[in-house]
Amino acid sequence: MLNLVSLIIGVVALLCAAIAFLPLLGWANWLIIPLAVVGAGIGQVSGSRTGRNLNLFVVVVGIVRLMIGGGII
């Protein structure tokens, strides 16, 4: 059950991260990364690794996007 919650959080965060790749929306990653970290924490507690791995991927994508945009853009 916790893995399903983690997967849902990961999919929502991934969709939001895809939208945040548009110019001038990079600031949204400051909200997406903590959401994905919470999802990864929930995924860590669950028995499966799928939700945790998805959320960790979203965290990496968000951090790379912030580095590309200089943290704001």
Q: Which domain holds residue 60?
A: 47-72
Residue 13 lies in a domain: no
Is pLDDT of 62 > 80? yes
Residues 2-52 have pLDDT tens digits of 999 999 999 999 999 999 988 888 899 999 999 999 999 999 999 899 999
Within-domain flag for 60: yes
Number of domains in the chain: 1
Q: Per the domain annotation, does 12 fall within a domain? A: no
Please tell me the predicted confidence (pLDDT) of residue 33: 96
Residue 17 lies in a domain: no
DSSP string, 6-72: HHHHHHHHHHHHHHTTSTT-GGGHHHHHHHHHHHHHHHHHSS-SHHHHHHHHHHHHHHHHHHHHTTT
Burial of 29 (0-12, 13-18, 19+ CB in 10 A): buried
**Is 15 a member of any domain?**
no
Asked if the structure places residue 65 within a domain, the reply is yes
